[in-house]
Amino acid sequence: MSAANSPTANSPAADTRRRGKRMLLLSVAGLLGAAVAAAAILLAQPPQSGAAGPAPIEIETALVGRGDLTELVRVQGTLAYSAPRDLGTVLPGIVTGLPSAGSVIAQGGELFRVDDSPVVLLHGELPVWRAFSAGMTDGADVLQLERSLAALGFFEREPDEEFAGSTEAAIERWQKSLGLEQTGMVELGRIAFAPADLRIREPQAAIGDAAGAAIVSTTGTATEVLAFVDTANQDLVAVGASVSIALPGGAQTTGTVVAAGAPVEREGTSGKTMKIPVSITLDDTDAAAALDNVSVSVLLTQTKAADTLLLPVGALLAQPGGGFAVEVVRGAAASGPATTVVPVTLGAFADGLVAVTGGTLAEGDTVVVAK
């Protein structure tokens, strides 16, 4: 490089370099000065008297309980209205009136109309299998008829199995209330017996159709759950057992087992297996009043250990020589709770708890739980 092109001591480029070095030195000096000043301030401060020692160690604990160790067994079921059946009539004629879906027909109520005359619901376990008239043989169906007429206020003596003059008179009063011809006899197909009131699921016929065996589809007025339970869990579904039921949408309610049938073969994901059919009624019928024919989960309670000490699984400590122990809080120290390691024997596990025995562990003890 020629002398003419190299920067001189007094050239602008040389001035720029000197200014840069000064700025760098001043910056470093400033930082060192600040550090020294800070150190001086710290050294000048006298030590505080009564300074706090190390903070106590914080631990999580749980109480040892005593009771039954239970586990929930989940079974799929179907919630629907009970006792579905189709109803019709042997009366000849044309369907002229139908109830609306969801309506409830009480005793004495109209199920549908044929040739503009009502077919009526009465209560009884036996189906209608013959007409009712003077001279008929005695029978339990006559008793059902008289009981229904008495409940409706038309029969005035003690019901029995005999069709007597009082029965005929009661029928005439009943027929008059319905606007029917007062014959004193009930033709086959004019009434239908059911054990209780009925709910109309949906009409099966249309206005103008010929009357037949299926005019309306009915159910009982209460919902029930039908579930099929593994035979291994048969003891969990004895009649009268209480269960929990998870409904669509996350709501839960309770129910009671009212029937458990003989094992039946059911097709499953791993082939055919034997299952116990179980019927469950809801304790609160309003909890599922708007639901019909939906899937639910039935939660059965299985007792895995009775009257035992219970503690969280997170309290267990694996011991170097094998076995398990728990750390029991026995007092307090400056650095935190004082603990004692107590060996235990493990029992059954369920829902994050373990049944234990052994050692000096007792109900109400406080044990350390892993965070």
Q: What pLDDT, on the 0 to 100 scale, is given for residue 53?
A: 52
**Among 52-56, 79-83, 185-189, 264-268, which stretch is predicted with the lowest mean pLDDT?**
52-56
13 versus 310: the higher-pLDDT residue is 310
pLDDT band at 47 (very low <50, low <70, confident <90, very high): very low
Stretch 38-59: mean pLDDT, rounded? 47
Q: How many CB atoms lie within 10 A of CB 80?
A: 18
Stretch 91-99: mean pLDDT, rounded? 98
CA distance 180 to 165: 19
DSSP 218-267: EE-SSEEEEEEEEGGGGGGG-TT-EEEEEPTTS-EEEEEEEEE---EEEE
Residue 14 predicted with pLDDT over 70: no
Q: What pLDDT, on the 0 to 100 scale, is given for residue 334?
A: 55
Domain 60-69+306-369, CATH? 2.40.420.20
360 versus 202: the higher-pLDDT residue is 202
Q: How would you class 33 by CB atoms within 10 Å of its CB: exposed for 0-12, middle for 13-18, buried for 19 or more?
A: exposed
* CB-based contacts of 162, cutoff 8 Å, min separation 6: 138, 142
4 versus 146: the higher-pLDDT residue is 146
204 DSSP 8-state letter: S
Nearest in space to 241 (alpha carbons), one of 220, 255, 251:
255
Question: Which CATH architecture fits 85-219?
Answer: Orthogonal Bundle (1.10)
Q: What pLDDT, on the 0 to 100 scale, is given for residue 345?
A: 93
Q: What pLDDT, on the 0 to 100 scale, is given for residue 330?
A: 85
- At the topology level, CATH places domain 71-81+222-304 in Elongation Factor Tu (Ef-tu); domain 3 (2.40.30)
pLDDT band at 54 (very low <50, low <70, confident <90, very high): low
- Which pTM does this prediction carry? 0.65
Annotate 347-368 with three-state secondary structure. EEEECCEEEEECCCCCCCCEEE
331 DSSP 8-state letter: E
Stretch 3-12: mean pLDDT, rounded? 38
pLDDT band at 371 (very low <50, low <70, confident <90, very high): confident
H-helix or E-strand containing 112? strand 110-114
Supply the mean pLDDT for the chain: 86
What would you measure as the largest C-alpha separation in the chain, in angstroms?
149
Annotated domain spans of the chain = 60-69+306-369, 71-81+222-304, 85-219
Stretch 128-147: mean pLDDT, rounded? 98
247-295 pLDDT per residue, tens: 998 899 999 999 999 999 998 778 899 999 999 999 998 888 889 999 9
Q: What pLDDT, on the 0 to 100 scale, is given for residue 91?
A: 98
192-240 pLDDT per residue, tens: 999 999 999 999 999 999 999 999 999 999 899 999 999 999 999 999 9
Q: What pLDDT, on the 0 to 100 scale, is given for residue 56?
A: 59
47 versus 93: the higher-pLDDT residue is 93
Stretch 143-150: mean pLDDT, rounded? 99
Quick check: helix, strand or coil at residue 278? strand
